[in-house]
Amino acid sequence: MAEHSDPNAPWKTLSGIGTTAITAALFLFFLQYLPTVAAGEPVRWVIPWIPSLDVHLSFWIDGLSLMFALLITGIGALVMLYAAKYLAGHPQYDRFALYLFAFMLSMLGVVLADNLIALFVFWELTTFTSYLLIGFGHADPKSRRNALQALLLTATGGLALLAGFILMGVTQGSFEMSQINAAGSLVGKEFYTLILFLVLAGAFTKSAQVPFHFWLPNAMAAPTPVSAYLHSATMVKAGVYLLARTHPALSGSDLWIWILSIFGAVTAVFASLMALRQTDLKQTLAYTTLMALGTLVMFLAGSTGYAITAAMTFLLVHSLYKAGLFLTIGVIDHATGTRDANLLGGLKKAMPITAMAAAVAGLAMAGIPPFLGFIAKEVAYSGALEMHLWLFVVPMALIAFALMFAVAGIVAYKPFYGPQGELPHAPHEGPWPMLLGPVVLGVLGLLFGLMPGIAAHYLIEPAVHAVMGAPDRGGRVKLWAGFNMALLLSLVTFALGFLIYLRHQSLRERLARIEAKSPDLDASWDRFLDWFVRFSKVQTGLIQTGVLRQYMFATFTVFAVTVLVTLVARGAGPLRVSFSGLGIMEWGIAALITAGTVLVLMTSSRITALVGLGTVGIGVALVFITYSAPDVAITQLLVELLVVVLLALALLKMPYLDKGNVQKHSFPNAVLAIAVGALTTWVLLLVVDQPFDRRLTEFFEGASWTQAFGRNIVNVILVDFRTLDTFGEIAVVLIAALGAFVLLKGMRATKEEKK
Amino acid sequence: MNSIIFTAGARILVALVFVFSLFMLLRGHHLPGGGFIGGLLGAVAFIIYSLASGPEETRRALRVSPEVIAILGLGIALLAGLVSFFMGDPFFTGQWYWVGGDSYETAAFSINSVLVFDIGVYLVVLGGILSLTFAFEEET
């Protein structure tokens, strides 16, 4: 595969070591908050951003955000070091390091942001960086397609999320998540159902719940470090984070309990079956990640101490062992050239450290004591037994955990023991930068299991506190909880899991047959996109005819209808028109303008029409002069002159007028023109009829000389009081000129090519 | 247009209109005029030249291409705004420096960011319209 490095290439590059070092420093930075947050004191920073819209860059560190921040920076640093070696010598490695680093920062933003709008911005940034990373091997059309699929699905969910956030902020009167949660539950309030559906749409697409799951296995087109980091340990958990974060405000309703339980459970069981069916180890891990996400969503359906503790413990342990296993698979792939479960076996001798790391991670995944995974499973069963829908949740959890036990055997045991298959090249031990990650993560899983008090006190319990909105009684996370229902269920899980492992070859074939018959959502997605593109083509063909006359007609029709509807709806009063006080000059100007208009309408020559239009323009300039607005008059006159020159130049290039065509359209055009003219006149007369508000005029008359040292008010407004507006306008002038310039040059270039 | 009279007359006319455009730019703060009107007039001057002698000859007379003039203008306008930023005032606040006195009444003349901004406007309008016109004229 092209993504593999040259083993002799230098890997200690600035981009690799630099990003790793900064991420590790951030990890240490967050580590210092552990005691404060464990004592129940959240930390908050605020930078005002758009205060008028209540949008701030506010950050909030409580138990939940801190646990995520530590996972993001800790695993991030290990993955970046790993990637430096994994992709050493890759021509675009620097770009990769940049994407990965940008992702890390965006993800930190998601979990630290307190303001909903800021959270949304970071949320979308993770989507974009994920898109870039999945599509890193951009020469391969399949990876481009998979990247686009992930982008479209998660960004659509993100838009729903934005709508949900806005409704939530308006309903609770604040856009700060901490205040929304403090304001109490939203259940039963106006818009609750809508908010719930919108937020769930965002969370479920991001965390790949069935039926939005299909993008996640496809996202494995990304290089392995990315799969380990984004699509297992961090980004896909953003949806879970969101559900946990909004838990105090949104949970507790029947709707919440049913939706989360059912979607979570179905995702978990479906994904663990699919994991068993795969032969590519990376795909197997992708589906077990899906299973973990489903399990987390399922436990967040509950509100009891055990359910939430189960979710948080499982989240922690899963991030540790799954990132470790992904990295291990990367090492195996790197060393042997294959990830096929049927080929791999007996690698223990050649790769002892990798085998150790995989074993530790696999034991945690299987939930064997004394690993933290075992505790997570125990707490999970206790939580499931407490839930409303326990009759449904407990069996689903049992099936999922048993399948996961079997999969852990396939991923972490089978490649290293038993007979060795036919490998593309002879196995060798991985280099240390690639082993450090799996070893550290595996050892952490073991240490936390042996000393569950530390993990519980500093990480799990503060997170549970944050999710529940109140401190939990604690003491739920322990290695030996006595003989109880949960232990019994664990023993059943081991037995069932072992049976499945022994028979996994035949089960895999059976699952493959079922899969072949069931509907393929991935292919449906492609069909949907094809249909959408066809629809866009038809729609574009209808609207963008390419005929200028039709565009003008549509624009003016919309204008006329809008003005008319507004005037009628607002009950516009009758017109008071008075012709008194008009001298010979005013009548003369009016006659000049009318004569110009009549000339335009009557002539059959374009040049004559242009002259007529110029006459109208000069008439308007005369009006400005009569009413003592010399600046406007001069500008009008000059613009009119330039328009005539430019149009004359353009007319030289145009074909002769087709008289028949003109006549065909003249009737509807005349009706529209008269309507627009009459309506504009009506509106203007109504405006003039209002008493004139002189406040602005008086301000500028007074301030122009005293504050801006200028006597020409128009100019002073342009260059002093409203400079930013003028700056915007001249920027538009420049862009328009450059645009036209490029367009005309481009046309010339095309013509020359044709010649 | 191949008219000797127009070509000969245009040379004088161009100079007059161009100087007039500068005059309009400079007097703009107190009397009708300013960067926008000045820029339009300047464009008219060179368009006359271009109608008389062709766009290629006008480009040579300008020395700098109109697109560059417009971009430079926008840059100068931006600089006028940045000055106030560095002086600690809100962006685009007019900055005044009095020469030979300490207020408008006593000073002989002033150096200010407002005129610099207006010169930027002048250049953008001049360059923008000329690049548009030349593109039309050169398009075949």
Which residues face A58 on adjacent strands? A46
Predicted confidence at residue A562, as pLDDT, reads 95
Residue A537: pLDDT band (50, 70, 90) is very high
Q: What is the mean pLDDT of residues A539-557?
A: 89
Q: Supply the DSSP string of A150-206, one letter for each residue.
A: HHHHHHHHHHHHHHHHHHHHHHHT-SBHHHHHHT---TTSTTHHHHHHHHHHHHHHH
For residue range A485-523, what is the model confidence (pLDDT) as tens digits? 888 888 899 999 899 888 888 888 888 888 888 888 888
Task: Find which of B31, B50, B119, B139 to mutate to test the A interface (most A CBs within 10 Å of its CB).
Answer: B139
Contacts of B32 in chain A (CB under 8 A): 630-631, 634, 712, 714
Question: Å from B57 to nearest chain A CA?
Answer: 17
- E-strand stretches of A230-328: none
Closest residue in chain A to residue B78, using alpha carbons only: A727
Amino acid of residue B37:
I
Contacts of B117 in chain A (CB under 8 A): 719, 723, 726-727
> CA torsion angle for A230, A231, A234, A239 (degrees, to 10)?
130
Predicted confidence at residue B73, as pLDDT, reads 95
For residue range A268-278, what is the model confidence (pLDDT) as tens digits? 999 999 998 88
Contacts of A638 in chain B (CB under 8 A): 37, 40-41, 44
Predicted confidence at residue A705, as pLDDT, reads 82
State the angle between helix axes of A432-450 and A372-386 in degrees (0 to 180), rounded to the nearest 10.
50
The Cα A684–Cα A45 span in angstroms is: 52
Inter-chain CB proximity B92 and A631 less than 8 Å: no
**3-class SS at A113?**
strand
Q: Are A358 and A267 in contact (CB under 8 A)?
A: no
Give the C-alpha distances (Å, rounded to integers) separating A146 from A140, A143, A149, A158, A267: 10, 5, 5, 18, 20
Closest residue in chain A to residue B40, using alpha carbons only: A638
For residue range A583-600, what is the model confidence (pLDDT) as tens digits? 898 999 999 999 999 998
Q: Are A70 and A441 in contact (CB under 8 A)?
A: no
The Cα A265–Cα A210 span in angstroms is: 10
A731 part of contact set with chain B, CB < 8 Å: yes
The Cα A189–Cα A203 span in angstroms is: 21
Question: Å from B67 to nearest chain A CA?
Answer: 7
Q: How many Cβ atoms from other residues are within 10 Å of residue A575's Cβ?
A: 10
Inter-chain CB proximity B29 and A709 less than 8 Å: yes
Is residue A677 over pLDDT 90? yes
Of A399 and A50, the structure prediction assigns the larger pLDDT to A399
| Nearby residues of A291 by Cβ (< 8 Å), 6 or more positions away | A267, A268, A269, A271, A272, A275, A400, A403, A404
The tokens for A169 are 């902020």
State the angle between helix axes of A390-408 and A254-277 in degrees (0 to 180), rounded to the nearest 10.
20
Contacts of A625 in chain B (CB under 8 A): none
The Cα A441–Cα A456 span in angstroms is: 17
Give the C-alpha distances (Å, rounded to integers) separating A417 from A339, A344, A414: 15, 9, 5
Contacts of A747 in chain B (CB under 8 A): 139
Task: Find which of B21, B89, B92 to mutate to test the A interface (most A CBs within 10 Å of its CB).
Answer: B92
The tokens for A438 are 């799996």
The Cα B66–Cα B71 span in angstroms is: 9
Of B77, B124, B132, the CB nearest to A740: B132
For residue range A88-119, what is the model confidence (pLDDT) as tens digits? 888 889 999 999 999 999 999 999 999 999 99
The tokens for B9 are 């007359």
| Nearby residues of B113 by Cβ (< 8 Å), 6 or more positions away | B80, B81, B83, B84, B94, B95, B96
Q: What is the mean pLDDT of residues A655-677?
A: 84
Q: With CA atoms as reference, report the closest residue to A300 among A267, A335, A259.
A: A259
Inter-chain CB proximity A634 and B33 less than 8 Å: yes
Is residue A7 over pLDDT 80? no
Q: With CA atoms as reference, report the closest residue to B31 among A426, A267, A631.
A: A631
The Cα B105–Cα A338 span in angstroms is: 86
Q: Are A487 and A378 in contact (CB under 8 A)?
A: yes
Q: What is the mean pLDDT of residues A285-310?
A: 91
Predicted confidence at residue A3, as pLDDT, reads 46
**3-class SS at B72?**
helix
The tokens for A229 are 């980091």
Is residue A414 over pLDDT 50? yes
Classify the C-alpha dihedral A344-A346-A348-A349 as positive or negative: negative
Inter-chain CB proximity B32 and A634 less than 8 Å: yes
Inter-chain CB proximity A650 and B70 less than 8 Å: no
Burial class from Cβ neighbours inside 10 Å (0-12, 13-18, 19+) for residue B138 reads middle
Predicted confidence at residue A676, as pLDDT, reads 95
Q: Are A293 and A363 in contact (CB under 8 A)?
A: no
Q: With CA atoms as reference, report the closest residue to B40 among B57, B54, B56, B28.
A: B28
Inter-chain CB proximity B73 and A645 less than 8 Å: no
Task: Find which of B36, B69, B93 to mutate to test the A interface (most A CBs within 10 Å of its CB).
Answer: B36
The Cα A33–Cα A720 span in angstroms is: 49
The Cα A29–Cα A33 span in angstroms is: 8
Contacts of B121 in chain A (CB under 8 A): 718-719, 726, 730
Closest residue in chain A to residue B94, using alpha carbons only: A720
Of B26 and B139, the structure prediction assigns the larger pLDDT to B26
Predicted confidence at residue A5, as pLDDT, reads 54
The Cα A297–Cα A260 span in angstroms is: 6
Give percent above pLDDT 90 in chain A.
41
Q: Are A137 and A221 in contact (CB under 8 A)?
A: yes
* Helix residue ranges per DSSP H, A451-520: 452-455, 461-468, 485-502, 504-517
Q: With CA atoms as reference, report the closest residue to A135 among A207, A218, A43.
A: A218
Predicted confidence at residue A755, as pLDDT, reads 57
Q: Are B84 and A710 in contact (CB under 8 A)?
A: no
Predicted confidence at residue A751, as pLDDT, reads 67
Q: How many Cβ atoms from other residues are within 10 Å of residue A198's Cβ?
A: 22
For residue range A468-491, what is the model confidence (pLDDT) as tens digits? 888 877 777 877 777 788 888 888
Q: How many CA atoms lie within 13 A of A277 on its CB side?
A: 16
Q: Which helix H or strand E contains B79, and what residues bound it?
A: helix B66-86
> CA torsion angle for B45, B48, B54, B57 (degrees, to 10)?
-30
Give the C-alpha distances (Å, rounded to integers) separating A222 from A143, A614, A657: 7, 62, 59
Q: Supply the DSSP string of A54-71, one letter for each residue.
A: TEEEEEEE-HHHHHHHHH
**3-class SS at A572?**
coil
Question: Å from A287 to nearest chain B CA?
Answer: 54
For residue range B58-114, what is the model confidence (pLDDT) as tens digits? 999 899 999 999 999 999 999 998 888 888 777 888 888 888 777 777 777 888 888
As for the ipTM of the complex, it is 0.91
Is residue B48 over pLDDT 60? yes
The Cα A399–Cα A413 span in angstroms is: 21
Task: Find which of A631, A714, A715 to mutate to test the B interface (most B CBs within 10 Å of its CB).
Answer: A715
The 10 Å CB-count burial string (b at 16+, else e) for B40-70 is bbbbbbbbbbbbbbebeebbeebeeebbebb
Give percent above pLDDT 70 in chain A.
98
Is residue A137 over pLDDT 60? yes
The Cα A436–Cα B41 span in angstroms is: 72
Average model confidence (pLDDT) for chain A?
88
Which residues face B97 on adjacent strands? B111
Q: What is the mean pLDDT of residues B29-55?
A: 90
Question: Å from B13 to nearest chain A CA?
Answer: 16
Contacts of B52 in chain A (CB under 8 A): none
Q: What is the mean pLDDT of residues A26-48?
A: 88
For residue range A214-253, what is the model confidence (pLDDT) as tens digits? 899 998 888 899 999 988 888 899 999 999 999 999 998 9
Highest mean pLDDT among A622-636, A687-701, B1-15: A622-636
> CA torsion angle for A139, A143, A144, A145 (degrees, to 10)?
140
Contacts of B140 in chain A (CB under 8 A): 748, 751
Question: Å from A644 to nearest chain B CA?
Answer: 12
Burial class from Cβ neighbours inside 10 Å (0-12, 13-18, 19+) for residue B81 reads buried
A531 part of contact set with chain B, CB < 8 Å: no
The tokens for B121 are 């406007």
Q: What backbone torsions phi and psi does residue A615 show, to the nearest 5 degrees?
A: -60, -45
Residue A156: pLDDT band (50, 70, 90) is very high
Q: Are A398 and A489 in contact (CB under 8 A)?
A: yes
Q: How long a stretch of residues is chain B?
A: 140
Closest residue in chain B to residue A722, using alpha carbons only: B92
Is residue A124 over pLDDT 90? yes
Of A577 and A625, the structure prediction assigns the larger pLDDT to A625
- E-strand stretches of A599-697: none
Q: How many Cβ atoms from other residues are within 10 Å of residue A705's Cβ?
A: 14
The Cα A622–Cα A562 span in angstroms is: 31
Q: What is the largest CA-CA distance in chain B?
A: 58
Of A642, A716, A727, the CB nearest to B29: A716
The Cα A388–Cα A357 span in angstroms is: 38
Q: With CA atoms as reference, report the closest residue to A371 among A431, A421, A425, A313.
A: A313
Is residue A750 over pLDDT 80? no
The tokens for A132 are 């870039």
The Cα A365–Cα A358 span in angstroms is: 10
For Cα atoms A374, A379, A383, give the angle at the middle one, nearest 5 degrees. 145
Question: Å from A702 to nearest chain B CA?
Answer: 14
Is residue A573 over pLDDT 90? no
